[in-house]
């Protein structure tokens, strides 16, 4: 971790923590059961702030009942620390980004939707398994998340250790559904948008990203070869090149 520091903001009495690289107006949002550290490759090469969602990493407890609640805390963090930012979210984080665009558009310069979708249904067997057999189910989730065997092994342990918050996050994902609103043109994301997905993503397949690309007129899409759901971890060089080019064209 080179030149990395922690930045905190108190939102409604809860400390929201972030890892900070070079001082750039970029905010990264992690997915279910993860924390800010999954963005380390991006923080080190590109800079910006990677937020720990409430109840994750170094952030404090907050009552979270829906994706909207996460969006509220991230939006308040962005406004307090940066005013306005490029906001990039992975999986659950991508759902949060969409909600921020809808509810707090004034803080958004541009967005990145990474391995996510307009709807994020979760297999009932996964939700039930995390309750009844978290260790085995965490291995299955990790198997679905990666192509790389080393990362599979590492994250099966991480997911098992965090099985309670992982289950809560996935339950929120399961309730997240903007599909019909997109189809009915009720959602209009007008800011520059980059969409990235791994070609072999089993959790949010490329067709999810292609749907978003069709509905968000200001978007561009990249499908990364030899990558699964955690594309920014499995293919950091390719991922960072896409993100860097996107950001450079914005400025």
CATH number for 5-119+177-250 (one of 3.40.50.1820, 3.10.150.10, 3.90.600.10, 3.40.50.410): it is 3.40.50.1820
Cβ atoms of residues 224 and 235 within 8 Å: yes
Can you give the pTM of this predicted structure?
0.98
H or E stretch including 27?
strand 26-29
pLDDT < 70 regions, the chain: 1-3
pLDDT, one tens digit per residue, over 73-128 is 999 999 999 999 999 999 999 999 999 999 999 999 999 999 999 999 999 999 99
- Rounded-to-integer distance, Cα 13 and Cα 33, Å: 23
- The confidence score (pLDDT) of residue 79 equals 98
- Rounded-to-integer distance, Cα 90 and Cα 189, Å: 17
- 3-state SS, 182-249, equals HHCCCCCCCCCEEEEEECCCCCCCHHHHHHHHHHCCCEEEEEECCCCCCHHHHCHHHHHHHHHHHHHH
- The confidence score (pLDDT) of residue 173 equals 98
Q: Domain locations in the chain?
A: 5-119+177-250
Beta bridge partners of 15: 10
- The confidence score (pLDDT) of residue 2 equals 57
């Amino acid at each position: 971790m080179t030149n990395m520091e922690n930045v905190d903001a108190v939102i409604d009495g809860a400390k929201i923590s972030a890892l900070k690289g070079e001082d750039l107006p970029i905010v990264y949002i992690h997915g279910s059961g993860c924390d800010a550290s999954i963005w380390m490759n991006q923080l080190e090469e590109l800079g910006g702030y990677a937020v720990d969602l409430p109840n994750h990493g170094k952030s404090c407890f907050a009552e979270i009942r829906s994706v909207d609640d996460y969006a509220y805390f991230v939006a308040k963090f962005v406004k307090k620390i940066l005013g306005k930012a490029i906001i990039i979210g992975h999986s659950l984080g991508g759902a949060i980004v969409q909600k921020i665009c809808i509810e707090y558009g004034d803080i958004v310069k541009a967005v990145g939707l990474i391995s996510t979708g307009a709807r994020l249904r979760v297999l009932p067997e996964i939700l039930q398994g995390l309750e009844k057999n978290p260790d085995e189910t965490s291995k299955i989730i990790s198997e679905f998340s990666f192509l790389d065997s080393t990362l599979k092994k590492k994250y099966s342990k991480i997911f098992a250790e965090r099985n309670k918050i992982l289950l809560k996050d996935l339950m929120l994902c399961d309730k997240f559904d903007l599909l019909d609103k997109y189809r009915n043109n009720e959602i209009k994301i007008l800011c520059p948008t980059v969409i990235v997905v791994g070609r072999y993503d089993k959790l949010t397949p490329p067709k999810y990203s292609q749907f978003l690309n069709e509905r968000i007129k200001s978007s561009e899409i990249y499908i990364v070869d030899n990558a699964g759901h955690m594309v920014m971890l499995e293919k950091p060089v390719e991922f960072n090149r896409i993100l860097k080019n996107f950001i450079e064209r914005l400025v």
